[in-house]
Structure 1
Amino acid sequence: MTPPLLDDAGALAAAEAVRAVLATGAAARDRDRVLPRAELDAVSDSGLLGITVPARFGGRPVSTRTVARVFATLARGDASVAQIPQSHLTFLDALRRTGTDLQQKRWFGEALAGRRFANAQSERGTPTVGIDHTSFAPQPDGSLRATGTKYYCTGALLAHWLVVRGVVGDHRAPDAQSRKVLAYLPVDTPGIDISDDWDGLGQRTTASGTVTLTDVVVPADAVIPYSAIFDDATTYGARAQLVHAAIDVGLARAAMDAARGAVASARPPVDAAVASADRDPLLLQQFGDLEITVRSAEALLVEAGEAIDRAEDARADDPGSIDPDAAAAASIAVAAVKVVATRAALETSSALFDAGGTRSAAASSGTDRLWRDARTHTLHDPSRWKVQHVGRYALTGAHPPRHGLV
């Protein structure tokens, strides 16, 4: 079945339909760490994996605000599954910016067909997460040989394509990190081994295995520039971070959904002197404040998506030359929602225990799942630094830093 082409309204409707699929059995998948094969197939079949493909390659790109709302909706169903396509869209965006016409035609076509792209980016043991030791050694025939180990490779176990980041030549060379590339490789390429070893306390079913590359043959036409994305002002990082913020917003809304069910079966404290827990005035105050926080995050999410669209001047088929001030404004808008979304996800998922009372501490209740997911996912990019960037921008107009950490 060929996935449908979706406009903005169609993408939102498809996300709602898929949300129901993801929500069904989410708790059981988390408990038993069952990979979401059927659920990801539903995402592929829905057409949502192609919503950013440029029109000249057969797509019908939706607005960035719609992309954000789509991911918040999916995360409301199951945040683990929602995290998997984040890398998919990010690497399609990289392709849009630095890929050749032939590369774009090939891999955008794969996305429109529902094929999934997963990441192989992060490494351990490097001075910072921005350093790559994975190397692509040039060969006499024009190909490259890739060697290295990547961790936290979200979606790799259930992907069709693996996108590997590394440096051309020796990673120890002084300018090595400025020669980063991305290689788009079939997951069954000889020399690629993907281990099912993710043991996170939350986001347990993101299919995030360790990827080991041993002398992997990489065709020259499978490689696109990566470092070049950041030579000038860009919305690449803002787009990638917006989707992470959307996942946290969806988690927060899911926690509010769960709180309604939890309080319905809870007993009120004696001091409240009310007939049911949902009439406890202090609990109502607590969740009133939380609802305001979640609504704030939802509004900021839309605002940030619109800021990215403005920066790109609505040219989805051509990233073009982005005005540095507009790009900075978009990044700050994303930073703001990232901070509020982090707070919303952590506070609402923690307050679930207050809504459910003592019985919510039982492992069998599953009350901890959303908190574990929120606690794990919000570690991806520390929001404390986002506050610093927003503060400097507000007081001095300083642009946030530009780097390749997405």
Structure 2
Amino acid sequence: MNRATHTTRVTPFGPDSTEAEVLVVVRQLAARFSTEDARRDAERILPYEEIRTLSGAGLFTLSVPKAYGGPGLSTRTLGEVFTELVAGDASIGQIPQNHFFFVNVLASAGTPEQQAFFYEEILRGRHFANALSERGSRTARDFEIGFARQPDGSRILNGTKYYATGTLFAHWIPVYAADEEGRVHAAWVPADEPGVTVEDDWNGMGQRTTGSGTVRFEQVRVPAERIVPVYTIFEKDEVFGAFGQYLHAAIDTGIAVAALRDGKRLIHELARPRKETGLDRAADEEAIIDLFGELALGVRTARALLREAGDAVDAARADLNTLTAAEASAAVAAARAHSDEVSLKVSSGIFELIGTRAADRDLNLHRHWRNARTHTLHDPRRLKLRYLGGWELNDTPPPANGLV
């Protein structure tokens, strides 16, 4: 199954680890992953070894609270982690996103016993994927997978989930399902449980090695202690949705960072100056400098908005009420809307600054645009603008729906 398992804790990070120490490790790994990023994408080489490396380095433990033996990383710094990893390899960087999403489910709605069990699983090197999306339902938030209640309180899963990012690499697959009253729960299923079939059939044009395939469940029993009532999160003030969207914004920002970095390198290596300029280097052309500066401004703004949003989520968690939750959601909506736009703009704009040679398939420079276009389809930018405008203009809090 290519999944690393451990009987003892493997993480080098703990309650005394500093965020600076974590970022040093993350940047080293990102630099290492970046050397083969283009080849993995072009040949669709799945990053089994790289995910084992992430696990061994302790990166799946970063949001485990200090009280349970984890480093309890701040939201702001977790965003930096994702931006750096994605800049190294966008697919590898996206794979942990759903893991942290479901750690947040546990933190927000799990019982103390569930939290203790799964936090220990994480500290032993195990991590989560996801089984959220379905096809054919009226909306993306309608879950029709079979979730039959049994006399002992367990549930039987029957059905299929799609776009299940990271399931090829994970130890646990949390499944979203609705009960008889339409209330959403998350059911944790071991990836190797009898009746679970994970298919490597993801065929997207971008994010090609995320393992976002199909998962089939046939008569899979989930004990009551592995089921978390997600619906309870929205019965009170929350930043659950803001946190999830924040990680998506970090992914888009990382794609933009990678595109700008590769664009700079190729302007110096491949681009030729226009003859009429009399220059020896394209990098000295004023028009190219100006346009590259505009792209760089977009990336810097994305990073600044991301940090502001991370601070807002952290502040809301420290003093959670309707006002702080709304401000966190609005800050994340701003970061998400801008990172969406800038990832597409930069990954496309670098081509015109490099010239025709940028279109050479062997460079695989277009992977950044493909990754951006694919990932930005997760949630409509137009809704982020609507929620942001409603808050800033009319003091209308963004909806508590887990999506903002």
TM-score bucket (shorter structure): over 0.9
SS at match of 1:352: helix
For the residue of structure 2 that corresponds to 1:147, the secondary structure is: strand
Deviation of the 1:51 alpha carbon: 1.2
Separation (CA, whole Å) in 1 of partners of 2:21 and 2:247: 19
Identify the residue that residue 354 of structure 1 maps to in structure 2. 352
Query: How far, CA to CA, are the matches of 1:55 and 1:283 in structure 2?
Result: 48
1:220 equivalent in structure 2: 224
Structure 1 match to 2:25: 14
The residue type paired with residue 362 of structure 2 is S
What percent of counterpart residues are identical? 43
TM-score w.r.t. the length of structure 2 is 0.94
Q: Distance in 2 between matches of 1:144 and 1:378?
A: 34
- Name the counterpart of 1:311: 316
Cα deviation digits, residues 192-236 of structure 1 (max 9, x gap): 111100000000000111011111111111111011111122111
How far apart in 1 are the matches of 2:301 and 2:21? 25
Q: Which residue of 2 aligns with 1:345?
A: 343
Amino acid at match of 1:186: P
Tell me what 1:3 maps to: 11
- Alpha-carbon distance in 1 for matches of 2:148, 2:234: 23
Matched, 1:290 2:295: yes
State the shift of 1:186 in Å.
0.7
Is 2:157 aligned against 1:152? no
Alpha-carbon contact 2:245-2:403 (below 8 Å) kept: no
Q: Which residue of 1 aligns with 2:378?
A: 380
User: Is 2:237 aligned against 1:233?
Assistant: yes
Structure 2: gaps spanning 5 or more residues? 1-8
Cα displacement string for residues 252-287 of structure 1 (whole angstroms, at most 9, x for unaligned residues): 111111011111121123454432211222111111
Distance 1:269 1:205 in 2: 38
Contact 1:14–1:48, Cα closer than 8 Å, also in 2: no
Which residue of structure 1 aligns with residue 47 of structure 2? 36
Are residue 134 (structure 1) and residue 132 (structure 2) matched?
no
Deviation at 1:145, TM superposition (A): 0.5
- Looking at structure 1, the residues matched to 226 and 49 of structure 2 have their Cα atoms a distance apart, in angstroms, of 29
1:7-406 correspondence runs (5 A): 7-169=18-180, 175-176=181-182, 179-264=183-268, 265-313=270-318, 322-405=320-403
Letter in 2 for 1:2: V
Residues 18 and 46 in structure 1, CA contact (< 8 A), matched pair in contact too: no
Q: Which amino acid aligns with 1:195?
A: E
- Is residue 129–residue 405 contact of structure 1 (8 Å, CA) maintained in 2? no
Match of 1:318 in 2: none
Residues 385 and 273 of structure 1: is their aligned pair in 2 closer, same or farther, counting only changes over 3 Å?
farther
How many correspondences in the alignment? 392
Q: Verify the 8 A CA contact 1:336 1:390 in the aligned structure 2.
A: yes
CA–CA distance in 2 between the matches of 1:17 and 1:46? Answer: 11
| Structure 1 portions without partners, runs of 5+ | 170-174, 315-321
> Which residue does the alignment assign to 1:172?
none
Q: Do the aligned residues in 1 keep the contact of 2:244 with 2:403 (CA within 8 Å)?
A: no
Give me the whole-angstrom Cα distance separating, in 1, the residues matched to 2:205 and 2:357: 21
CA distance in 1, matches of 2:274, 2:126: 52
Alpha-carbon displacement from aligned partner over 1:23-60 (angstroms, at most 9, x marks no partner): 12111110111110111111111112111111222222
Does the CA-based 8 Å contact 1:7-1:61 persist in structure 2? no
Whether contact under 8 Å (1:300, 1:333) holds in the other structure is yes
Indicate conservation of the 8 Å contact 2:242/2:403, yes or no. Answer: no
Partner of residue 5, structure 2:
none
Q: What secondary structure, in the 3-state scheme, does the structure 2 residue paired with 1:68 have?
A: helix
Specify the SS of the correspondent of 2:318. coil
Deviation of 1:100 after TM superposition, in Å, equals 1.4
Task: Give, in whole Å, the separation in 2 of the partners of 1:324 and 1:269.
Answer: 57
TM-score, normalised via structure 1 length: 0.94
Task: Give the drift of 1:355.
Answer: 2.5
Amino acid at match of 1:307: A
Instruction: Give CA-to-partner distance per residue, 1:302-350, whole Å, 9 cap, x none.
Output: 1100001110117xxxxxxx20110000000000011111121111110
**Take 1:8 and 1:330, find their aligned partners in 2: how far apart are those partners?**
22
CA distance in 2, matches of 1:390, 1:270: 47
Structure-1 separation of matches of 2:278 and 2:382: 40
For residues 164-211 of structure 1, give each alpha carbon's deviation from its aligned partner in whole angstroms, at most 9, with x where no partner exists: 010123xxxxx41xx211011110111111110000000000011101
Q: Secondary structure at the match of 1:216?
A: strand
Separation (CA, whole Å) in 2 of partners of 1:35 and 1:26: 11
The residue number in structure 1 matching 2:6 is: none
Residue 156 of structure 2 aligns to a residue in which SS? Answer: strand
8 Å contact kept, 1:352–1:367: no
Q: Equivalent residue of 1:185, what SS? A: strand
